[in-house]
Amino acid sequence: MEFKRLGRTKEKIPVLGMGTWKIGGDWYIRDCSRDEESIRALKLGLKLGMRFIDTAEGYGNGHAEELVGEAIRNEKVFIATKVSPEHFKYEDVIKSCEASLKRLKVKQIDLYQLHWPNPNVPIEETMKAMEKLVDEGKIRYIGVSNFSVEEMKKAQEALSKYEIVSNQVEYSLLCRDVEKDVLPFCQREKITLIAYSPLAQGKIFEYSKAFEEVCKKYGKTLSQVALNWLIQKKQVVAIPKAIKPEHIKENIGAIGWKLKKEDVKRLEAVLDKYKQKT
């Protein structure tokens, strides 16, 4: 496994972690039908070195956190979870964190993130609660998710003791909006960008022809090329979600090699043209 520093901290996290969206259910909808399969998938990922799992209280109405808790028992893992925007008031943040700790069966959450911005609650109130959680040892680091540059700046200004170490956003070869301002800002300020939906929720496979030449050159699959393209970018790590063992093993193949600069440029240019045609 390869590692990158988390923000400006001395903490190093795997460049490839595991996402858990739709593991254990949908947004606030619990589904226990694939629990055993989900736990096996998470355990396999850990065995292969993806010792960074991201989840959220909103996934499966907390059930995703419960499944992660089962999978990481007696394991050393970097755990990230998220508090939902409707819980951004001071007391609600505290309660949400305590509930997540119980579901995860851990004493401390490594990275606690604000899931989406909430303009209806003063960011100062939310961040005051986040700092209290750090002070009490319930969380180690503070992160955000789906925040714009301006929202990141306001969130950081609202902190008096600590720094925002990460911003989790959608980023893939098919979704590169963050390259306009969010990614450059994160790179400049040394904020880790955690890329979710790094395979565009499977949509990337619709453009397989655009990848053929590069995949053949490196002897890699489309998934491996797309993930490698992401993780070689400065300050970027990715959290693909996979349930099938073969997909988890395939994802690991994105590590240990590097696309050449000319192929990165060529890949982006070819894909852009291909998308325009289709």
Residue 137: CB atoms within 10 A of its CB come to 9
Q: Are strands 52-54 and 78-83 parallel, antiparallel or unpaired?
A: parallel
Q: What is the largest CA-CA distance in the chain?
A: 55
Distances (CA, A) of 84 to 92, 113, 201, 236: 10, 9, 22, 23
Distance (Å, rounded) from C-alpha 34 to C-alpha 39? 9
Residue 74: CB atoms within 10 A of its CB come to 4
Q: Is 212 exposed, middle or buried (0-12, 13-18, 19+ CB in 10 A)?
A: exposed
| 3-class DSSP assignment, residue 224 | helix
Which residue is associated with the tokens 């797309």? 226
- C-alpha 233: how far from chain center: 15
Q: What is the DSSP string of 130-159?
A: HHHHHHTTSEEEEEEES--HHHHHHHHHT-
**AA identity, residue 105:** K
Cβ contact 166:194 at 8 Å: yes
Q: Hey, which residues are catalytic here?
A: 59
202 DSSP assignment: G
Q: Are strands 25-26 and 29-30 parallel, antiparallel or unpaired?
A: antiparallel
